[in-house]
Structure 1
Amino acid sequence: MTASSATNPSKLRIASVVTGSLTTPQPPGIIYAPIDLAVALTIGLTERGHTVTYFAPEGSSIPAGQLETGGLPPLKQSPHTLPILRTVTQAGRLERIDQAWTQALIAHMLRRAEDGEYDLVHIHPIASGMPLALSHPRVPVVYTLHDPISPWRKLLYTQFSSANQWLVSISQAQRAPAPDLPYAATIYNGVDTSLFPFSAAPGDYLLFVGRMQPNKGVIEAIQVARLSRQRLILIGTVGPEWQNFWRQQVAPSLNDQITYTGFVTRSQLYQYYQRAKALLMPIQWEEPFGLVMTEAMACGTPVIALRRGSVPEVLIDGQTGFIVDTINEMASAVEKIDAIKRTACRQHVEQHFSLAHMVAAYEKVYYQVLAAHDR
């Protein structure tokens, strides 16, 4: 593609990949947000006239675009790994096998891009993609950063950076540990508001949605419920590495006031969002985005969150919820949650976090990257 065609919008040929280990859609019982985002982006870009080839293992299906499997079978077909992988007991080995599967799919995609089949590629697993993309300097590569930039990630992104690779952060806060990486833009994750029906009439409970592990703040959510004397519903999965944490610190707190649903389907989750008085986000880490916040607000449910990570970018304090600094402040905010207009929460998502906004922003980045790459 020439620089002139990159700056004068023409229809693009885009290749996209998320993982080589999971099928799309995800197998039952597995939640992996990057897949949902990539599929939504594929649909949106296709609707705008672009040709998108989505790379995923055999058994996958997508509602738009073209599917390419490269003949790769999926590594995981259920919440449990394939039987042979249950023999892998050494820490970290499963992650290495997972990465090998994904890199095989990325390598196949990059070879085809090198042959001129695509104008650019969009890789979501950056740690798997960057070392491979170094060998394909003629291929423009865009990455979406889904995780916090920890020290080891910063080292990797710096070591394997090259002129053909650009990063998209999902919040400005995410950039803080490494502000000098080759960022193309910050693009917030979009929400399909048509899937999240608005509710003007909340129920009588607080809601916590997330994995049951310490950094998500489940213990702190329980503390807030006790301090405010409110019902609390916990929704999320317990990973194998957090079973002891669950048994020792969370499960003993469950009773009529504090209940746990376990894993729920997407349609069930929407209903829980709709009826909640507020979503609690007492996060104990630098959350790079926090999709549950925008999902809840899309249903009209305000959010009460600790001032960490992307929270100040996603919420408007006093308008779509409350941003607080302590658990006691969070409990106090529960008492005044009725002052938040649920319509304001919905409008905030429609205006700033819609899928249309996200798709248009990525399209703009693609054109900018191609123009820069052709110079």
Structure 2
Amino acid sequence: MKTTSLKLVLVSTPIGYLGSGKGGGVELTMRSLIKGLLSLGHKITLLAPQGSVLPSDCSAAEIRHVPGIDQPSWQHQEVSAPVVIPPDGVLLGLWEQALELGKESDAVLNFSYDWLPIWLTPRVEPDLFHLISMGAVSQVMKTLISELSKSDPSRLAFHTYRQASDYELFGEPVVLGNGFDLNHYDFQPLGGGPLGWAGRVAPEKGLEDAVAVAAALGDRLLVWGVMEDPEYAKKIESNFPPGTIDWRGFLSTAELQSQLRTCRALLNTPKWNEAYGNVVVEAMACGVPVVAYDRGGPGELINSGFTGWLVPPDDVVAMTEAASQVGMIDRKECRNWVENSASHDGFARRVESWIKKGISTTKFPKG
């Protein structure tokens, strides 16, 4: 079947510029998807906060920078918190341009977990689509997503079924998984290195549990990620033997995978329902088994006993025992799973199919 080229507007997360690390896994998702959509022949315009950058392999996409103050993240607010949109915030600027560009495009794809774009969806002319990046951490967002699911479910998609189950949806959810450019991850067949952990250094990521596992095994834990809560980090460090934590900071994909692939296992310890679990897949792409709490998205990504181990949530003893058994895992099985289930081109095809099915039948691609 002939592929019809689409004109797509992609709207980035407003909580930080691309390359800052503030956007977490959304940044990686966007870069992989843009490359995949370009390879399918689609025309991409990306709206992103001032300072955002794309890798050279995404240079065919047009990027428009929007100034403004970062939008507060729902990750750091109470579940019952009200909507807050700074009057000089980047969120308003992003969507002012998105609605204008959307008039001459086939669809607008939103990556931000924010009230405004979802509320706008049934009220504006452009076709807006939302790849929801988080679980139901906000009651107002949960309600709004449920309402859109009832009126137009084709406009919503999720990364995993576990993430989607956080919401009160009408009908089966659209689940797209995620995608990674595997050319950026080198397979390492040999294990035996240290333990690793990656993520934002913040309480909901549960770093203290991973450190406890490393300490129990008399091991060193390599830690990568944005230092979002320095006081939290200091408290953890003070509770364990010196040298247990090896802080590596926030690194580019190339730098991260070069260090991550030396690990014998990645520990994944979230205290909340992760929507997907990008670092889980990045580790497996390098051949690194993952020991994770069976909570949220990672529970759908890990084949326990084959690509790592799933243990009961918050059970540090069980995680310690599982981490001591990662030598039983065939590291090639980890890489094989990623190649079969989470490539960037496969992800782009799934997103393409979702958008084409959801575009109004009264509209035609503008070419």
Q: Which residue of 2 aligns with 1:121?
A: 108
1:372 to 1:158, Cα distance in 2 relative to 1, 3 A: farther
Q: Look up the SS of the partner of 2:191 in the other structure.
A: coil
Question: Could you tell me whether the CA contact under 8 Å between 1:208 and 1:279 is conserved in 2?
Answer: yes
Q: Which amino acid aligns with 1:363?
A: E
Q: Per-residue displacement from partner, 1:277-336 (whole Å, max 9, x unpaired)? A: 100012211111110000000000000011101122100010000111121111111222
Counterpart among 300, 319, 325 of residue 306 in structure 2? 319
Q: Which residue of 1 aligns with 2:67?
A: 73
1:120 to 1:207, Cα distance in 2 relative to 1, 3 A: same
Q: Which residue of 1 aligns with 2:145?
A: 157
1:254 to 1:374, Cα distance in 2 relative to 1, 3 A: farther
What is the CA–CA distance in structure 1 between the aligned matches of 2:241 and 2:251, rounded to whole Å? Answer: 18
Q: Per-residue displacement from partner, 1:196-234 (whole Å, max 9, x unpaired)? A: 100011243111111222221211111111222322222
What is the CA–CA distance in structure 1 between the aligned matches of 2:155 and 2:262, rounded to whole Å? Answer: 41
1:335 to 1:39, Cα distance in 2 relative to 1, 3 A: closer
Q: Which residue of 2 aligns with 1:81?
A: none
What is the CA–CA distance in structure 1 between the aligned matches of 2:47 and 2:197, rounded to whole Å? Answer: 33
Q: Which residue of 2 aligns with 1:360?
A: 349
Counterpart among 204, 207, 216 of residue 215 in structure 1? 204
Q: Look up the SS of the partner of 1:322 in the other structure.
A: strand
Q: Which amino acid aligns with 1:238?
A: M
Question: Could you tell me whether the CA contact under 8 Å between 1:42 and 1:65 is conserved in 2?
Answer: no
What is the CA–CA distance in structure 1 between the aligned matches of 2:153 and 2:93, rounded to whole Å? Answer: 20
Counterpart among 55, 64, 68 of residue 59 in structure 2? 64
Q: Which amino acid aligns with 2:205?
A: K
* Correspondence 1:274-353 to 2 at 5 A: 274-325=261-312, 326-353=315-342
Q: Which residue of 1 aligns with 2:6?
A: 12
What is the CA–CA distance in structure 2 between the aligned matches of 1:183 and 1:143, rounded to whole Å? Answer: 16
For the aligned residue pairs, the C-alpha RMSD in angstroms reads 2.9
Which shows bigger deviation, 172-181 or 51-60? 51-60
Question: Could you tell me whether the CA contact under 8 Å between 1:171 and 1:288 is conserved in 2?
Answer: yes
Q: What percentage of residue pairs aligned between the two structures are identical?
A: 23
What is the CA–CA distance in structure 1 between the aligned matches of 2:328 and 2:309, rounded to whole Å? Answer: 11
Q: Which residue of 1 aligns with 2:37?
A: 45
Question: Could you tell me whether the CA contact under 8 Å between 2:192 and 2:264 is conserved in 1?
Answer: yes
Q: Per-residue displacement from partner, 1:214-256 (whole Å, max 9, x unpaired)? A: 22121111111122232222222222xx333222233442523
Q: Look up the SS of the partner of 1:222 in the other structure.
A: helix
Q: Look up the SS of the partner of 2:355 in the other structure.
A: helix
What is the CA–CA distance in structure 1 between the aligned matches of 2:329 and 2:17, rounded to whole Å? Answer: 40
Question: Could you tell me whether the CA contact under 8 Å between 1:282 and 1:327 is conserved in 2?
Answer: no
Q: Which amino acid aligns with 2:325?
A: K
1:342 to 1:99, Cα distance in 2 relative to 1, 3 A: farther
Aligned length: 346
What residue ranges of structure 2 are gaps of 5+ in the alignment? 71-80
Q: Look up the SS of the partner of 2:242 in the other structure.
A: coil
Question: Could you tell me whether the CA contact under 8 Å between 1:302 and 1:345 is conserved in 2?
Answer: yes
Return the index of the structure with the highest Cα Rg. 1
Alignment partner of 1:35 is 2:63: no
TM-score, length of structure 1 as denominator length: 0.83
Q: Which amino acid aligns with 1:129?
A: P
